[in-house]
């Protein structure tokens, strides 16, 4: 019995020492993953994705230029804000933005700021403000370190007591396996399905980030309405079965978040 108490206390101590706060939202989160190792493995995964023969990167033209321009503005604004508010170099990511030729309506951001935008989503973004909406949302997942948090939750659920070893080990091989598991490395990259709470948090941060970069956050409502229309007829699962909020729930929540995001909007005209 005494050993069980000691072991339980050890687990509690590990969990408490592994907690951090999400910037801006202040939410406490659990992370059993070494962030530097996670970012290093994410770079390898990103490069592997780009070098795969099935991946067709678009490096020239107006669309590619827009992805780079919007991404750079978001990254610069986020870095300025976080450094000015005491986060130092923790989120000084080496951002990369790649437009990928694909009919898929999708975009993602790996830990450390490695972003891919699929050309199919450009029909929905309908300009730079819409592009800033989706890219701001995906970058928010990285800033909030949702991938590490998600893996930590999976570790607790699947391995129970062995999470202590995972927390103190921080071995590169384990991290590499984590990245592969979360992102489905191997050929086409699968997207990490975050929980509904994490999706909502990314919506909130994404609105703030696009506003910081000079994009009117009110335009996010129109983007998500277009996204909902594009998804019609695809047999979307009921909200309680999905890792994402329903379109109606998301749009309603975003409208409630706009007053906060507007405080970060400079009003600068961005095409």
* Least confident span in 58-67, 93-102, 137-146, 213-222: 137-146
Residue-wise burial string across 162-195, b where 16 or more C-beta atoms lie within 10 A, e elsewhere? ebbebbeeeeeebbbebbeebbebeeebeebebe
Q: What is the mean pLDDT of residues 226-236?
A: 73
Residue 188: is its pLDDT beyond 70? no
Q: How do residues 191-213 score in pLDDT, each as one tens digit? A: 445 677 888 889 999 999 999 99
pLDDT in tens, 118-176: 999 999 999 999 999 999 999 999 888 877 777 766 665 555 544 444 443 444 555 55
Would the pTM of this model clear 0.85, i.e. be above it?
A: no
| Cβ pair 224, 136 in contact under 8 A | no
Task: Look at residue 36 in the predicted model and tell me its pLDDT.
Answer: 76
pLDDT value at residue 86:
82
């989120």: which residue's tokens?
A: 91
pLDDT tens for 9-25 read 333 343 434 567 666 77
Instruction: Please tell me the predicted confidence (pLDDT) of residue 48.
Output: 87
pLDDT, mean of residues 212-221: 96
**Average pLDDT, stretch 42-58?**
89
Pair of tokens at residue 218: 């009110």
Pairing of strands 96-100, 107-110: unpaired
Is 58 exposed, middle or buried (CB count within 10 Å of its CB: 0-12, 13-18, 19+)?
Answer: middle
The residues assigned a catalytic role are 138
Residues 61, 37: contact at Cβ < 8 Å? Answer: no
Task: Out of 140-144, 161-165, 255-259, 262-266, give the one with best mean pLDDT.
Answer: 255-259
CB-CB contact of 183 with 45 (8 Å): yes
Determine the pLDDT at residue 243: 55
pLDDT beyond 70 at 216: yes
Q: Which residue has the higher pLDDT, 269 or 230?
A: 230
């Amino acid at each position: 019995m005494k050993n069980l108490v000691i072991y339980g206390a050890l687990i509690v101590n590990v969990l408490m020492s592994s907690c951090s706060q999400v910037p801006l939202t202040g939410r406490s989160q659990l992370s059993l993953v070494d962030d530097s190792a996670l970012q290093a493995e994410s770079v390898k995964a990103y490069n592997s994705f780009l070098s795969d023969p099935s991946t067709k990167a678009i490096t020239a033209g107006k669309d590619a230029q827009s992805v780079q321009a919007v991404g750079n503005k978001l990254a610069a604004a986020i870095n300025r804000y976080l450094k000015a508010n005491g986060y130092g170099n923790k989120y000084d990511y080496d951002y990369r933005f790649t437009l990928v030729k694909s009919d898929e309506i999708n975009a993602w951001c790996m830990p450390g700021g490695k972003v891919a935008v699929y050309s199919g989503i450009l029909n929905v973004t309908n300009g730079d403000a819409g592009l800033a909406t989706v890219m701001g949302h995906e970058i928010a997942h990285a800033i909030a370190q949702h991938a590490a948090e998600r893996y930590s939750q999976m570790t607790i659920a699947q391995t129970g007591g062995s999470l202590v070893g995972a927390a103190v080990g921080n071995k590169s091989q384990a991290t590499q396996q984590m990245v592969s598991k979360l992102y489905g490395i191997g050929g086409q990259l699968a997207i990490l399905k975050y929980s509904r709470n994490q999706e909502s948090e990314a919506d909130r941060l994404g609105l703030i980030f696009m506003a910081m970069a000079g994009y009117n956050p009110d335009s996010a409502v129109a983007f998500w309405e277009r996204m909902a229309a594009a998804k019609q007829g695809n047999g979307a699962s009921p909200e309680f079965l999905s890792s994402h909020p329903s379109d109606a729930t998301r749009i309603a929540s975003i409208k409630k978040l706009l007053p906060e995001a507007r405080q970060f909007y400079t009003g600068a005209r961005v095409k």
